[in-house]
Chains A and B, each alone.
Chain A
Amino acid sequence: EIVLTQSPGTMSLSPGERATLSCRSSQTVSRNNLAWYQQKPGQAPRLLIYDASSRATGIPDRFTGSGSGTDFTLTISRLEPEDFAVYYCQHYGSSSPTYTFGQGTKLEIK
């Protein structure tokens, strides 16, 4: 069973700064099987990135997904006030199939 480990657990940054969020898998995964979601307090998650680097509809281009193998990254180039939220990575395993989430990274205002 694949385990996704996100780091850091909490990140404190200021608007305008660059955020780099990490998602590490316990096994090599296909790029096509990794996604990122954003969740704001009291709201449902929202799909940001799928297939490791494809932006979902309506997602600003300041959000970029990258990585391969066991290491994946979500980069937010210049933080806007509305970007402060919790971010989850997710793996899709086609064999069972299974859907595994990381534990999340909370991005908070410094």
Chain B
Amino acid sequence: QVQLVQSGAEVKKPGASVKVSCKASGYTFIDYYIHWVRQAPGQGLEWVGWINPNSGATNYAQKFQGRVTMTGDTSISTAYMELSSLRPDDTAVYYCARVLIPRAQRWFDPWGQGTLVTVSS
């Protein structure tokens, strides 16, 4: 079955960087965009960006441009999201999600289990 498994929780200090991984299985990795969405504690969902694993093309929400980098390693079917210059308000659960339809950009299904990133001094 299609599955996305994310790396474990991270605790970082303000100003540091974090890199979260998302390992895909059960489908052809290069055929589906991967999105990243975050959720601050007790809050709603916020889109961060996507990567096309086939081409490496990326698209980031304007809010995160300059601080986020999304990459993919097709040899191990894994996507990565790196967020730099961390601030306490970056504390959130970060989800990766595959798109529903090959080579399309919208509708997220399925999702990874989430990775809690805590930014605290």
Contact = CB atoms under 8 A, between A and B. Distances in A.
Interface size range of chain A in the complex: 20 to 34
B46 A97 contact: no
B32 interface: no
B105 A92 contact: yes
A44 B100 contact: no
Interface stretch (B8-16, B70-78, B106-114): B106-114
Interface in A15-51: 33, 35, 37, 44-47, 50
B21 to A, nearest CB: 16
17 contacts: A37-B45, A37-B108, A44-B111, A44-B112, A46-B109, A46-B110, A47-B107, A47-B109, A47-B110, A56-B109, A90-B45, A92-B105, A98-B47, A99-B106, A102-B44, A103-B44, A104-B44
Interface of B: 35, 37, 44-47, 59, 61, 95, 97, 100, 105-114
Interface of A: 33, 35, 37, 44-47, 50, 56-57, 88, 90, 92, 97-104
